[in-house]
Amino acid sequence: MASENQTGIAAFFLLGLSDDSELQPFLFGLFLTMYLVTVLGNLLIILAISSDSHFHTPMYFFLSNLSFTDICFSTTTVPKMLMNIQTQNKSISYTGCLTQVCFVMMFAGMENFLLAAMAYDRYVAICQPLRYTVIMNSHLCGLLILLSLFISLVDALLHRLMILRLSFCTDREIPHFFCELAQVIKLACSNTLVNNILVYLLTSILGGVPLLRIICSYIKIISSILRIPSAGGMYKAFSTCGSHLSVVFLFYGTVLGVYISSAVTHSSKKTAVASVMYTVVPPMMNPFIYSLRNRDMKGALKKLLWRTFSFS
């Protein structure tokens, strides 16, 4: 098969979730609704936190950053998919594809690190409550956000640079609704051993270390909660981290589901459908989890909506 170097590539082609033309209007309406719910829900969380001084705490600081990351994560993939469906044009430029790969990797990494930072915040709040304000000061919170952003950005740029060295075949069809790193590497005609090693190595380290931090935090949290003598005290302590634990299960559960699906099935379409579960569903569901399970957040959202509609 003929190959081309990176400078001669005009575009890749995103095949999407289905080739059925009758299904396209349904997919467009479904993903447009999911995207609008994602943006609106997370934007309301950010506005509720910023407008109420009671929420100017480390936990809600991390939550507002998580909501912003979720908006960016969805915006990286869904609008391009909607535009392709609407225009019936499946192409994405070479530069656009690499940029999408870069942003998907960066925001996925940010989500990963933010969940670990939030787990550490809950650990300090429950296991070391008297030192909470000393440990979780504004400098540490800011440093954790900047460090998460820096590591995620370096990881994304490194993968992007490694793709630039690859030569691609004339077949440039990506059986996905966005430029996923693994799918782009599969299209290369040149040797991809270094790329694959880098993917597995960085995924293991940058995905495994935050997950291990979350698991260790919750082992200590559960151990501390079980030592509380009253059932009411145990429930109160655990309720403060129930929303975060739900988001953790949703994010890592869907990512694990995608990897299991790709390992079990050889159908690219099924893998693409499964990937929706971690790129689109968690950002949409996170605001519902935090607003429905958190009484304070629910009250703040009601106040925000009441003020908005009363002024209008």
Over the stretch 77-107, which tens digit does the pLDDT of each residue have?
999 999 999 988 889 999 999 999 999 999 9
What is the Cα–Cα distance from 142 to 4, expressed in whole angstroms?
A: 44
Total count of domains within the chain: 1
**Cα 83 from chain centroid (whole Å):** 21
Whole-number Cα distances in Å, 74 to 38, 68, 148: 8, 10, 19
Is residue 165 in some structural domain?
A: yes
Quote the DSSP letter at residue 188. B
In a domain, 2, yes or no: no
Residue 3 domain flag: no
Note the pLDDT tens digit of each residue in 162-177.
999 988 877 788 888 8
pLDDT number for residue 38: 95
Residues 291-300: contacts with CB under 8 Å, at least 24 apart? 291/41, 291/45, 293/242, 293/243, 293/246, 294/243, 296/54, 296/55, 297/45, 297/48, 297/55, 300/48, 300/49, 300/51, 300/52, 300/54, 300/55
pLDDT value at residue 5:
47
Q: Give the per-residue pLDDT at 1.
A: 44
Task: With respect to residue 112, please indicate whether it lies within any of the assigned structural domains.
Answer: yes
Q: Is residue 194 part of a domain?
A: yes
| Residue at 67 is within a domain | yes
Structure tokens at 57: 């705490």
Domain for residue 284, yes or no? yes
pLDDT of residue 48: 86
- Whichever domain contains 82, its CATH number is 1.20.1070.10
pTM of the model: 0.89
Q: What is the pLDDT of residue 8?
A: 55
Is residue 97 in a domain? Answer: yes
**pLDDT, one tens digit for every residue, the chain (312 residues):** 444 544 456 789 998 887 788 888 999 999 999 999 999 999 989 988 888 888 889 999 999 999 999 999 999 999 999 999 998 888 999 999 999 999 999 999 999 999 999 999 999 999 998 999 999 999 999 999 999 999 999 999 999 999 999 888 777 888 888 998 988 998 998 899 999 999 999 999 999 999 999 999 999 999 988 888 887 777 777 777 888 888 899 888 888 877 776 666 666 667 777 778 778 988 999 888 887 667 777 777 777 777 766 655
8 Å CB contact between 61 and 141? yes
Residue 260 domain boundaries: 11-294
